[in-house]
Amino acid sequence: MMIHFYINYDNRTVIDYYLRIIKESFDKAGFSTKYITDLNHVAKTDYLFFSTPLTAFRAWLKGYRRIMLWQQGLSPEESFMRNKSYFRLYVYNFIERFVLKRSCFTFMVSEKMKQHYENKYSIDFKNKYFIMPCFNTELNKEIIESKKNHETIIFTYIGSLAAWQCFDETLQLYKKIEDQLGNTKLKIFTKEIQDAEEKIKANHICNYEVDFVDNLSLASHLQDVKFGFLLRKDTIVNSVSTPTKLSTYLSAGVIPIFSSCIASFNTLAKDMRYAYSLPAQIDIQSLLQFCREKVDYHKLQLEYEQIFQTYYNRDAYESSIVSYIKKMK
Is the pLDDT at 216 greater than 90? The verdict is no
How far is 209 from 283, CA to CA, in rounded Å?
27
Q: Is the pLDDT of residue 297 over 90?
A: yes
pLDDT of residue 329: 60
The answer to whether 46 touches 4, Cβ cutoff 8 Å, is: yes
Contact status, residue 54 vs residue 40, Cβ threshold 8 Å: no
Instruction: State the number of CA atoms in the 13 A half-sphere of 83 facing the CB.
Output: 14
Find residue 47's DSSP bridge partners. 3
CB 157 within 8 A of CB 167: yes
Query: Above pLDDT 90, what percent of the chain?
Result: 89
Distances (CA, A) of 53 to 42, 68, 244: 19, 10, 21
Q: Are residues 84 and 156 in the same domain?
A: no
Domain count, the chain: 2
Whether 89 shows a pLDDT value over 70: the answer reads: yes
108 and 151 together in one domain: no
User: What is the spatial distance between Cα 171 and Cα 2, in angstroms, rounded to a whole number?
Assistant: 48
Please tell me the distance from the alpha carbon of residue 146 to that of residue 268, in angstroms, as a whole number: 26
pLDDT tens-digit map of 95-114: 999 999 999 999 999 999 99
CB 92 within 8 A of CB 121: no
Domain containing 173: what range? 141-309
| 178 plus 68 within the same structural domain | no
d(CA 165, CA 190): 12
Q: What's the first-to-final CA gap in the chain, in angstroms? A: 8
pLDDT in the model for residue 164: 87
Q: Clarify whether residues 169 and 277 are in a common domain.
A: yes
Question: pTM value?
Answer: 0.93
Does position 11 have pLDDT exceeding 60, yes or no? no
Q: Residue 92: is it exposed, middle or buried by C-beta count within 10 angstroms (0-12/13-18/19+)?
A: buried
Residue 24 shares a structural domain with residue 154: no
The reported pLDDT for the residue numbered 9 is 65
Question: Is the same domain home to 97 and 12?
Answer: yes
Average pLDDT over residues 260-289: 96
Mean pLDDT of 131-160: 94
Domain co-membership, 275 together with 151: yes
Q: Write b or e for each residue in 218-243: b if 16 or more Cβ atoms lie within 10 A of its Cβ, otherwise e.
A: bbebbbebbbbbbbbeeeebbbbbbb
Does residue 253 register a pLDDT over 80? yes
Helix, coil or strand: residue 184: strand
**CATH number for the domain harbouring residue 270:** 3.40.50.2000
Q: Which of 50, 103, 39, 102 minimizes the C-alpha distance to 72?
A: 50
Same domain, 159 and 35: no
- In the predicted model, what is the mean pLDDT of the chain? 94
Q: What pLDDT does 207 receive?
A: 95
Taking the C-alpha atoms of residue 260 and residue 74, their distance in angstroms, rounded to an integer, is 19
126, 165: one domain:
no
Q: Which amino acid is at 242?
A: T
Task: Provide the pairing of β-strand 2-6 with 32-36.
Answer: parallel
Q: Are residue 106 and residue 248 in the same domain, yes or no?
A: no
Q: How confident is the model at residue 92 (pLDDT cuts 50, 70, 90)?
A: very high
186 and 173 part of one domain = yes
The predicted structure's pLDDT at residue 326 = 81
Q: Are residues 127 and 152 in the same domain?
A: no
More confident residue, 22 or 328: 22
